[in-house]
Amino acid sequence: MNSFDKLIADARETAALAQIAGRLGWDQETMMPRGAARQRGAEMAAMESVLHARRSAPQVGEWLETAKAPDAAGRAQLREIRRAYARATRVPADLAKRIAQVTSEAQGKWAAARAAEDVAAFLPVLQEVVVLKREEGAALAAGGDLYDAMLQDYEPGTTAEQIGALFDAMRPRLVNLRAAVLDRPMPAGVSGSFDEATQMRLSQELATTFGYDLSRGRVDKAVHPFSSGSGDDVRITTRTSATDPFNCLYSTIHEVGHAAYEQGIDPAYALTPLGQGVSMGVHESQSRIYENQIGRGRAFTGWLYGRMRDLFGDFGISDADAFFAAVNRVQNGYIRTEADEVQYNLHIMLRFDLERALMAGDLQVSDLEAAWNDRFAADFGYAVDRPSNGCLQDVHWSVGLFGYFPTYALGNVYAGCLFQALREAVPDLDARLAQGDTSSATTWLRENVQRHGGLILPRDLIRQASGVEPSEQPLLAYLDDKFGALYGL
Amino acid sequence: MNSFDKLIADARETAALAQIAGRLGWDQETMMPRGAARQRGAEMAAMESVLHARRSAPQVGEWLETAKAPDAAGRAQLREIRRAYARATRVPADLAKRIAQVTSEAQGKWAAARAAEDVAAFLPVLQEVVVLKREEGAALAAGGDLYDAMLQDYEPGTTAEQIGALFDAMRPRLVNLRAAVLDRPMPAGVSGSFDEATQMRLSQELATTFGYDLSRGRVDKAVHPFSSGSGDDVRITTRTSATDPFNCLYSTIHEVGHAAYEQGIDPAYALTPLGQGVSMGVHESQSRIYENQIGRGRAFTGWLYGRMRDLFGDFGISDADAFFAAVNRVQNGYIRTEADEVQYNLHIMLRFDLERALMAGDLQVSDLEAAWNDRFAADFGYAVDRPSNGCLQDVHWSVGLFGYFPTYALGNVYAGCLFQALREAVPDLDARLAQGDTSSATTWLRENVQRHGGLILPRDLIRQASGVEPSEQPLLAYLDDKFGALYGL
């Protein structure tokens, strides 16, 4: 075998082990006995240590020096192996270990501080995390921009400048749209109690409706909805609330978007570095277009309204138009994860600007809460009432996830570009969605996005699939149209 | 760190990874989507390759040369590490790979041959397996006895000669007991249909009754009952049949015996080579004493009868004595896994003698079916009617498990020794069991057997716990008493 073939054989084994580590994570959230937590920690640490040793093996570095890729896919494989190798070798082992320890401790302190509404109890350990992550970022950047280096873990090939330009263009338009919408009367919501077993059955039906292959996946309940795994074993979770069926149903559709991406990748890439979604942003573009552009669109909600009436009887919504308005209600709120399409990206931009400033050293941890609250008041027009509704609401920073937040909004932007192209490619899209037939949409997404796996870098992929340079314009036009019509703007 | 400490640190990580591999096996039988089988094969192979590389690492050999254990537990740790190292290094990698390939193929051919009742379709690949396993045995034996070397994988420190002596002493007595029992009228069984969800609820209750800690385990349904994992994450499976509730209930009690052993090990040994049951035979001694000596005894069945009447109403059994007889019915049958306490060991002895002869080269694969059928007729008094009831009934040989079968009967022998000692140690045992209180029994077993994990080799452990040299006599006396009384012999 030549060095390229050796690298691929080695990477296949590493990819298989990474799948196992992912499945352990799924098990932990769904099946693990509660008394097994400490032991599971040791098992995960052993697995991470194996993965790190493989990714940083000197032999991989030697093979990379002489490996010649036979084709474009091979070059992309090398690109991914090289990135993983650089990531694993640039960060000193001591620093990686220290980050693992401190973030583990910080996550506990964050949860306690959030419960106690006590920002001061969290800041010292957050300070430690920030110092360590900046050190890690500097090691990864190797002279380049620290935050850009961090972004590569989540959004390879994308810079903070590119993201910042998108966000800066979006922000004033979203602030205005939000204010205009909230100035109008709020549509009615659903009322009554919704049998949770029936929600789960409808969940499975929706998963299949959106093309999720249950012979290569499964749906379970968990505290937080997520999708896990690649290729032939991609599992999702959802949750139920007796009074809010949309939580379960739209969580499921969202996770099916992630799962369909992983299930839709060319099987030739299975258990290789290309055998998974290329970035968090592109991943989120799939989950969001399934959930929002398709799942919350007027055509599909018409079908869903009928199914829900069949299963739940009367739930206080008189017709499909009122149902469409109910699933797209825009309301004041502090919490990112509960935000609607109009406001969600504003939550992200706030975090992006703050974490970028923290990493650049332009914002001190001690000033974080004030900066958060100022920015929130500026964009949302009212004050944060308590830390759990403000800078303590998300787990991300406590566990060292800097550079992750912007991918959520990037996903929305990409979903906007893709949906514009999808509409052009499938002229009768609405007629099909109105029948509960998503196949033309999901097939188009599989062909144009999902099947490529890690082959094409995010911005190139979106440009190729949508035919336009990635831009905030399609998303903003879509939001203006949809919410303009819904709220009579 | 000195070389002993380095070995232990390394072994801890290996043990953690082995737990992960075990949990993947659990997942495969309970949760895995059916379309994930091929991918799972690649994942398991990657995991096995990691484990093999760790166990056979030259560094382990070097550490072993200079490691000094500080105490008895340390010496036992070294003994286990040395055995795993010898196992991993003595078998050439090519041979191990070939065995993995051929047994994978053989398992498929066995299943097809069994379905088609076609022994001839299975024998060529079984011949390949036998040749390869003999080669492996010779490598492991390093000049010693080939079958003894294989036994070490399942029953360390035990020889075929020791087992053969036990079995030879048992066989005529069991053949006679069987004939005498079957000469008497057969007691009535249960009748009617038993709600399967209620069976599963009673299953969970029984698991708890027998001391299974559900905060560190869980019960699921699977095609085959099994127990999986060690320490704080020990999961069991069971199965249900609407017409035969005993299948579910006694499978559960059996697996709880295995699980309680793993859960009962001294936490100081967690994720080390001593942090699991010392052998298959001792494991089976726990599952069998839970299931049979306790679970099918007159005292406990009196309590169980009441619980089943509460849950299922009338099921054709008039009183506790008749219930005791119903759960201990002795019937003709071909299948090992369905056999009662009187006949089970005869099924094992047949397999032990045949596989020992196969490994010794004294029996040819082409003569296996005839040898099986002759022996079956001699011990059971009637002819095997078809291969799926004869030499094709078990998966073991197809997957290369030679040396495994005898541990089932060895477990029964050990259970006999332990139960004799338990009765002496807990004079009011029956009065407690009649109340559904197994705690004095399970506590005694935990203290005397389970907590030691891999510390003490099987025969030494049984001798120490039971106060007698391991012997078939207690088991035979127990069977004579129990079935003599039940069948009025």
Give per-residue pLDDT as tens, B238-277. 999 999 999 999 999 999 999 999 999 999 999 999 999 9
CA distance B103 to B398: 6
Distance from A341 to chain B by nearest Cα, in Å?
33
Task: State whether residue A352 is helix, strand or coil.
Answer: helix
Answer whether B46 sits within 8 Å of A20, measured CB to CB. Answer: yes
Q: Does B370 touch chain A (CB under 8 A)?
A: no
With beta carbons less than 8 A apart as the criterion, state whether A178 and A170 touch.
no
Residue B420 pLDDT: 98
Is residue B356 within 8 A of residue B313, CB to CB? The reply is: no
Tell me if B46 and A16 make a contact (CB, 8 A cut-off): yes
Residue-wise pLDDT tens digits, A91-150: 998 999 999 999 999 999 999 999 999 999 999 999 999 999 999 999 999 899 999 999
B343 pLDDT band, cuts 50/70/90, is: very high
ipTM over 0.90: yes
B45 in reach of chain A (CB within 8 A): yes
Beta bridge partners of B227: B236
pLDDT of B151 reads 97
> What pLDDT score was predicted for residue A120?
97
For residue A46, which residues of chain B lie inside 8 Å, CB to CB? Answer: 12-13, 16-17, 20
Segment B301-322 shows an average pLDDT of 96
Q: Do B33 and A217 touch (CB under 8 A)?
A: yes
pLDDT category of residue A445 using cuts at 50, 70 and 90: very high
User: Is A20's CB within 8 Å of B20's CB?
Assistant: yes
CA angle A105, A108, A109 (to 5 degrees): 85
- Whether residues A27 and B32 touch (CB distance < 8 A) is answered with no
User: Does B49 lie at the interface with A, CB-CB under 8 angstroms?
Assistant: yes
The answer to whether B232 contacts A16, with C-beta atoms less than 8 Å apart, is: no
Residue A375: band (very low, low, confident or very high) from pLDDT cuts 50, 70, 90: very high
Query: Which SS3 state, helix, strand or coil, does residue B92 take?
Result: coil
Strand pairing of B219-221 and A235-238? Answer: unpaired
B35, A215: Cβ pair inside 8 Å? yes
Which residues face B237 on adjacent strands? Answer: B220
Residue A57 near chain B (CB below 8 Å):
no
pLDDT tier at B82 (50, 70, 90 boundaries)? very high
Q: Across all residues in chain B, what is the average pLDDT?
A: 97
Residue whose token pair is 């390879």: A156
* B chain contacts of residue A45, beta-carbon cutoff 8 Å: 16
Chain B residue nearest residue A38, CA to CA: B232
Residue of A8, A24, A43 to mutate, interface with B, max B Cβ within 10 Å:
A43
What pLDDT does residue A429 have?
Answer: 98
Cβ atoms of residues A224 and A29 within 8 Å = yes
Q: Is A23 on the interface with B (CB under 8 A)?
A: yes
Pairwise CB contact (< 8 Å): A19 & B27 = no
Among B462, B441, B81, smallest CA distance to B282 is for: B462
Element at A237 (helix H, strand E): strand A235-238
Residue with structure tokens 């385990």?
Answer: B217
**Which residue type is seen at A254?**
H
Look up residue A238 and give its two tokens. Answer: 């959802």
The answer to whether the Cβ–Cβ distance between B35 and A270 falls below 8 Å is no
| Calpha distance B274→B77 (Å, rounded) | 6
A215 neighbourhood in chain B, CB within 8 Å: 33-35
Q: Where are the alpha helices (DSSP H) in B117-195?
A: 119-141, 146-151, 160-182
Tokens encoding B167: 């079995």
Q: Which residues of B are tagged catalytic?
A: 255
Query: Could you list the active site residues of A?
Result: 255
If we measure between CA atoms, which residue out of A406, A421, A429, A403 comes closest to residue A469?
A421
Q: Which of A10, A30, A31, A228 to mutate to test the interface with B (most CBs of B within 10 A)?
A: A31
Average pLDDT value for residue range A418-439:
98
User: For the purposes of burial, counting CB atoms within 10 Å of the CB of A172, is it exposed (0-12), middle (13-18) or buried (19 or more)?
Assistant: exposed
Joined together, the tokens standing for residue B254 give 């059996």
Among candidates A12, A38, A47 on the partner chain, residue whose Cβ is nearest the Cβ of B232: A38
A466 secondary structure, DSSP code: H
Find out whether A348 and A288 touch, Cβ atoms under 8 Å. no
- In angstroms, rounded to a whole number, what is the distance separating the alpha carbons of residues A50 and A34? 25
State whether residue B53 sits within 8 Å of chain A by CB.
no
Do B422 and B429 meet the contact criterion of CB atoms below 8 Å apart? yes
Q: Within 10 Å of residue B293's Cβ, how many Cβ atoms? A: 24
% of chain A exceeding 70 in pLDDT: 100
Share of chain A above pLDDT 90, in %: 99
Are the beta carbons of A215 and B33 separated by less than 8 Å? yes
Q: Is A49 on the interface with B (CB under 8 A)?
A: yes
Least CB-CB distance to B39: which of A213, A218, A271?
A271
Nearest CB to B20; choose among A13, A24, A217: A24
Alpha-carbon distance of B391 to B385, in angstroms, equals 11
Question: In this complex, is the C-beta atom of B463 within 8 Å of any C-beta atom belonging to chain A?
Answer: no
Average pLDDT over residues B427-440: 98
Residues 6+ apart with CB under 8 A from B180: B487, B489
Is residue B270 less than 8 Å (CB to CB) from chain A?
A: yes
Grade residue B324 by pLDDT with cuts at 50, 70 and 90: very high
Pick from A469, A358, A351: nearest CA to A420:
A469
DSSP state of A233: -
Nearest Cα of chain B lies from the Cα of A319 at a distance, in angstroms, of 38
CA distance B340 to B329: 7
Which one of A20, A39, A49 has the shortest CB-CB distance to B271? A39
Nearest residue of chain B to residue A28 (CA atoms): B233
Question: Inter-chain contact B215–A46, Cβ cutoff 8 Å?
Answer: no
What average pLDDT does the segment B97-112 reach? 93
Q: Which residue does chain B place closest to A231, by CA atoms?
A: B39
pLDDT at A449: 98
In chain A, whose CA is at the least distance from the CA of B31? A218
Count Cβ atoms below 10 Å from residue A130 Cβ, excluding itself. Answer: 22
Q: Tell me how many degrees the CA angle A171-A174-A176 measures, rounded to the nearest 5.
A: 110
d(CA B460, CA B470): 9
**Mean pLDDT across chain A:** 97
Asked if B20 is an interface residue toward chain A (Cβ–Cβ < 8 A), one would say yes
Residue in A264, A317, A279 with CA at minimum distance from that of residue A444: A264
Nearest chain A CA: its distance from B460 CA (Å): 30
Asked if A213's CB is within 8 angstroms of B35's CB, the reply is: yes
A213 touches chain B (CB under 8 A): yes
The pTM of the full predicted model, rounded to 2 decimals, is: 0.94
Residues A280, A113: Cα–Cα separation, whole Å: 28
Please indicate if any CB of chain B lies within 8 Å of the CB of A46: yes
Confidence of residue B66 (pLDDT cuts 50, 70, 90): very high
Which positions in chain A touch B25 (Cβ < 8 Å)? none
Q: What's the pLDDT at B25?
A: 94
Q: Which of A13, A36, A216 sits opposite B36 (nearest CB)?
A: A216
A262 neighbors A230 (Cβ within 8 angstroms): yes
